[in-house]
Amino acid sequence: MASANATSPAGPSRFWDRLNISTKRVIWAWAFLALPILFYTGIRFYPTFQAFWLSLTNWDLLRPAQFIGFANYEKMFADPMFWKVFQNTFLYLIIGTPVSLVISFVIAYYLDRVRFMHGFIRALYFLPFLTTAAAMGWVWRWFYQPVPIGVINGFLASIGIAQQPFLRSVDQALISILIPAIWAGLGFQIIIFMAGLRAIPNTFYEAARIDGLGDGAILRKITIPLLKPTTVFLVVFSSIGFLRIFDQVYNMTTNDPGGPLNSTKPLVLMIYQTAFSSYQMGYAAAQTVVLFTILLIVSLLQLYVLREKK
């Protein structure tokens, strides 16, 4: 075997030697890139396009898929639950993104000035980001319990305020789930904001101070405008995160997923239930296409609104 190996590559190796160094580099680069490209085409892009096709079928895993036109979409748009879920999804986005960005900016802005135990405080903020969403969901779920075990209600009861239903209320449940979700993402956003703040050259601030600008004006005229690339990134990133929210909702409402009365159900959970508990793969694919479209539109819109004006 060994001898056969030694003689056979002689032909190709002469061809390889004739190439100049830059061509070789390009070939090497493509050789390395080929693997991820193949991977993405096979694992990501192909199934994505397949999902568009599936959304036009009635595939239920068991019987072969049949083309049924836009019946899945008609069913979806006529389903009041879908609109409820649609509304929930946007509530997660519309409340979650601005609130989390404002809080993380404020924390980052002031943390940036703190020298005392700076690293420790930063680590404290970052810690929730490292925690598994499932574990956190369960802990918060117990926080929200009624007395005698719920910490929050225990506190409310001890100062004489009526206990709150939290997760057992159609009005409070969504916010109750959003709070730990925002808290969990805070650490990451703070770190990115702080990196953005550090990247602003000190000379700008010095110049502003010499010109006699106050802290508020510096914040408005220098810090916030120069943080724009960071903000754009975080807005897009966190919007996508809130539009795809699932772990927190599912873990905090496992007994009645997305409940009570669908008041916390996001689109992703609806897709999950349609696909893996009702096995309506075609219908679930149609919902996925809607989610994909929403994500695409929201991302493009944000990039357009927050684009660099030249």
What residues make contact with another protein under the rule CB under 8 A? 1, 60-63, 141-142, 145-149, 153, 157, 160, 162-163, 165, 167-170, 255-256, 259-261, 276-279
73 Cβ partners below 8 Å, 6+ apart?
55, 286
At closest approach, how far in Å is the CB of 35 from another protein? 27
CA 261 vs CA 85, 119, 168, 264, 310: distances in Å:
11, 44, 10, 8, 49
> Residue 54 or 243: which CB sits closer to another protein?
54
> Residue 101 or 174: which CB sits closer to another protein?
174
At closest approach, how far in Å is the CB of 130 from another protein? 26
Degrees to nearest 5, angle at CA 298 with 293 and 303: 130
Question: 221-224 — which CB contacts under 8 Å span 24+ positions?
Answer: 223/109, 223/197
Look at the alpha carbons of 192, 194, 200, 201 in this order and tell me if their dihedral is positive or negative.
negative
At closest approach, how far in Å is the CB of 171 from another protein? 9
Do 92 and 245 contact (CB within 8 A), yes or no? yes
> Residue 97 or 263: which CB sits closer to another protein?
263
At closest approach, how far in Å is the CB of 81 from another protein? 10
At closest approach, how far in Å is the CB of 7 from another protein? 15
> Residue 5 or 255: which CB sits closer to another protein?
255
> Residue 1 or 210: which CB sits closer to another protein?
1
| Closest alpha carbon to 269 in 280, 257, 277 | 257
The length of the chain in residues reads 310
CA 154 vs CA 170, 281, 299: distances in Å:
21, 44, 42
The secondary structure of residue 150, as a DSSP letter, is: -
Instruction: Please give the Cα distance from 30 to 35 (Å, whole number).
Output: 9
Do 54 and 275 contact (CB within 8 A), yes or no? no
At closest approach, how far in Å is the CB of 211 from another protein? 59
Q: Which residue has the tokens 């390889």?
A: 16
At closest approach, how far in Å is the CB of 163 from another protein? 6
> Residue 105 or 144: which CB sits closer to another protein?
144
> Residue 74 or 215: which CB sits closer to another protein?
74
> Residue 97 or 253: which CB sits closer to another protein?
253
At closest approach, how far in Å is the CB of 49 from another protein? 20
Do 162 and 217 contact (CB within 8 A), yes or no? no
